[in-house]
Amino acid sequence: MVMELWFHRRMKPLAIADSPTIILGLQDEIRRSEESRYDHRLHGVLLVAQGMTCPEVAHLLGDAPRSVEYWVGRFERDGLAGLLEGNDRDGPDA
């Protein structure tokens, strides 16, 4: 990254107690509604646009790499509408 992120050097790492359970609860909350799933896919595509690979994004977000590939493909083909529920002409929605 060209811009130096000076504030990252001063921040101490934070920890969340019982992370595995919290992660599962947060993932359930993301999958709870159409709107949150859309936002989830939007974030995945944003991370790919910023240079992460589909497997990296999938690992970070807790999805299959193929799902991220579908999101990116649908976004490339149909724009933001491609990330909406039910737009699965080329594969399953995750």
Angle CA 9–15–21, to nearest 5:
145
7 or 24: which carries more pLDDT confidence?
Answer: 24
When the pLDDT of each residue in the chain is averaged and rounded to a whole number, the result is 86
Rounded CA-CA distance 44/54 in Å is 8
For residue 57, give every residue at least 6 positions away whose Cβ sits within 8 Å of its Cβ, in sequence order, or none.
44, 47, 48, 63, 68
pLDDT per position as a tens digit, 30-59? 889 999 999 999 999 999 999 999 999 999
Is the Cβ–Cβ distance between 60 and 67 less than 8 Å? no
Average pLDDT over residues 59-88: 93
Structure tokens given for 62: 């807790």
pLDDT for 8 beyond 70: no
pTM, rounded to two decimals: 0.74
86 or 32: which carries more pLDDT confidence?
Answer: 32
Structure tokens given for 61: 């977000």
